[in-house]
Amino acid sequence: MQSELNGSKAHDEMLFIIIHQAYELWFKQILVEIDSVCEIFTGDYVQENQIATAVQRIHRVNRIFELLIQQFTILETMTSLDFMDFRDFLHPASGFQSSQFRVLETRLGLQNSQRVNPTFIKNLDSKDAEKLQRAIDAPSLFTLVEKWLEKMPFQETENWAFWKEYQNVLHVTFEKDRQDLKNNPHIPVEELELSLSRINMMEQGFDSLFDKSKYDQLTDRRLSHRATLAAIFISLYRDYPLLQLPFRLLDAIIEMDENFTLWRYRHSIMTSRMIGARIGTGGSSGSDYLAKTSMQQRIFADIKNIAGMLIPRRTIPNLPTEISEKLKFAFELR
């Protein structure tokens, strides 16, 4: 313990060390799972039963994340005054030295350009920096899942395209919203205009979904046009047996993104409880920096945002038999 080496043994430093090591062990397990999921999606063809394995492993990662979020409560049995008994002896060590955390973010698909402060990742020794570089050079889970989505068939036949049908439903939905507003005598004129312009804006936003060149110009989207359309298709037709597993995979990924974000935010809240508004030992603005990472560094935000592009079940266009037959199990019990 650093406090002991400095001749002033602080009781709580052991808890601090044990907690950090426990986190690092679990980070290691999460990395093992994520690496294996990436491997499943690396080949040209991903087998159906392999998707089930991937889903099961991401579920495991999610349970681990829940434990890691919970684990902060044990650390919080140490008060901020207890922490001050040894905090000064830790300089210049900091969470920035966790190479496993940096590798994990990267394996999942966090891009440097997305970071609140990209220079902070340089806080690693040369061996760890090499490990991180290897992770940066390898395809991330985000990229692999995106490629897999891009290959998703079933969305069109010679005479039918899901996107045209979906576009029609959206148009009718927006039109109905407009009519409902106009028919409501209790809405003040200014409010009505505001709401109508909001609907128009939303409709224009959706337009990019049907025009790849428009979509490609959007600066706030990372998931490719084709992958986004496939994710919408899977989410809408999830009740077909063949799309169940792909849907569960996307759902598990969204949950993982949510859990990672919760971890980041929980860590930031714990930090503000421990050190208030002080700066971190690694030189960041402290809990403020950490809170920003939870908002800005979401990796699978585009998959999560598919939720805002769905339409009510009763309005989902029927699939032509040619496609719906392919999406069923080969043998049905009657």
31 near ligand HEM, judged by CB under 6 A: no
Phi-psi region of 229 (alpha: psi -120 to 50; beta: other; left: phi over 0): alpha
Q: Which of 34, 75, 135, 250 binds ligand HEM (CB under 6 A)?
A: 75
- Taking CB under 6 A as the criterion, the residue among 283, 292, 305, 316 binding ligand HEM is 283
Distance CA 205, CA 170 (A): 12
The answer to whether 94 contacts ligand HEM (rule: CB under 6 A) is: yes
The answer to whether 16 touches 82, Cβ cutoff 8 Å, is no
Residue closer to ligand HEM, measured from CB, 133 or 296: 296
State the Cα–Cα distance between residues 105 and 93, nearest whole angstrom: 20
Q: Tell me whether residue 66 or residue 177 sits nearer to ligand HEM (CB atom).
A: 66
Give the 3-state secondary structure of residue 169. helix
Examine residue 280 and tell whether it contacts ligand HEM (CB under 6 A).
yes
Token pair in block for residue 116 = 């609140």
Give the count of alpha carbons within 13 A of 226, CB side only: 11
Min dist CB 127 to ligand HEM, Å, is 18
- Of 303, 255, 248, nearest to 61 (Cα)? 255
- Among 209, 234, 293, 300, indicate the residue that binds ligand HEM (CB under 6 A): 293
- Binds ligand HEM (CB under 6 A): choice among 35, 95, 202, 265: 95
109 or 286, CB closer to ligand HEM? 286
Show the tokens assigned to 125.
């020794």
Q: Does 139 help bind ligand HEM (rule: CB under 6 A)?
A: no
Q: Does 20 bind ligand HEM (CB under 6 A)?
A: yes
Query: In the complex, what is the shortest distance from the CB of residue 14 to ligand HEM, in angstroms, rounded to a whole number?
Result: 13
Q: Is 275 in the site for ligand HEM (CB under 6 A)?
A: yes
When binding is defined by CB under 6 A, the residue of 274, 291, 303, 319 that contacts ligand HEM is 274
225, 216 contact by CB (below 8 A)? yes
Using alpha carbons, select from 234, 265, 94 the residue that is nearest to residue 153: 234
> Does the footprint of ligand HEM cover residue 271 (CB under 6 A)?
yes
Calculate the alpha carbon distances from 97 to 74, 191, 210, 262 in Å: 22, 52, 45, 21
Q: In the complex, which residues of this chain contact ligand HEM (CB under 6 A)? A: 19-20, 23, 75, 83, 94-96, 98, 101, 120, 267, 271, 274-275, 280-284, 286, 289-290, 293
